[in-house]
């Protein structure tokens, strides 16, 4: 897995006035020294890429230590992390084009199809009094 850096301005719902959330800016800033096209997101202490089975095993052991994926609970999959990240970005009010680029989708319509339920939920939410 490699890191891809997107250049350009993050767009909010109302145009280019919204910035990515603080946690996203801090994470991106921390990653700057490691953003060469051949840098790996998950690597050994020496910088070599981790084998997918090693990463999957570490992920499962982390879930087990956290009490997730236990009997009677929904199973957490690796891909769920991707959906969580997208949901958090949309929750911060970021534009679908920006989120689509972050996810590596070839077209924002793919992002809209996958995450349409998030927009429906927001539009039909009860107004708070």
Structure tokens at 33: 């020294």
Query: Do 69 and 22 share a domain, yes or no?
Result: yes
> What is the distance between the terminal CA atoms of the chain, rounded to a whole angstrom?
46
- How many structural domains does the chain have? 2
Q: What distance in Å separates the CA atoms of residue 98 and residue 110, rounded to the nearest whole number?
A: 13
List the domain range (segments joined by +) for residue 25.
Answer: 17-74
**pLDDT per position as a tens digit, 74-112:** 889 988 999 999 999 988 888 899 999 999 999 999 999
Instruction: Please determine, for residue 44, whether its predicted confidence score (pLDDT) is greater than 60.
Output: yes
- Kindly state the tokens that stand for 93: 């009010």
Predicted TM-score (pTM) of this structure: 0.58
Beta bridge partner(s), residue 94: 12
Domain assignment present for 11 = no
Q: What is the pLDDT of residues 45-55, one digit of tens each?
A: 887 888 889 98
Output the pLDDT for position 5. Answer: 40
Burial of 89 (0-12, 13-18, 19+ CB in 10 A): buried
Instruction: Note whether residue 68 is domain-resident.
Output: yes
| Statement to judge: residues 64 and 90 lie in one domain | no
Contact 60, 68 (CB under 8 A): no
**Are the beta carbons of 82 and 111 closer than 8 angstroms?**
no
- Token pair of 83 as six digits: 């959906």
């Amino acid at each position: 897995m490699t890191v891809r850096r997107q250049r350009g301005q993050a767009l909010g719902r109302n145009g280019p006035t919204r910035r990515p959330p603080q946690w996203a800016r801090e994470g991106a800033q921390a990653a700057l020294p490691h953003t060469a096209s051949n840098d790996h997101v998950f690597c050994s202490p020496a910088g070599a890429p981790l084998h997918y089975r090693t990463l999957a095993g570490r992920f499962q052991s982390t879930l087990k230590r956290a009490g997730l994926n236990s009997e009677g609970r929904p199973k957490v999959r690796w891909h769920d992390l991707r959906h969580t990240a997208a949901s958090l970005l949309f929750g911060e009010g970021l534009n679908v084009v920006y989120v689509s680029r972050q996810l590596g989708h070839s077209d924002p319509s793919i992002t809209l199809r996958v995450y349409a339920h998030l927009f429906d939920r927001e539009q039909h939410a009860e107004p708070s009094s």
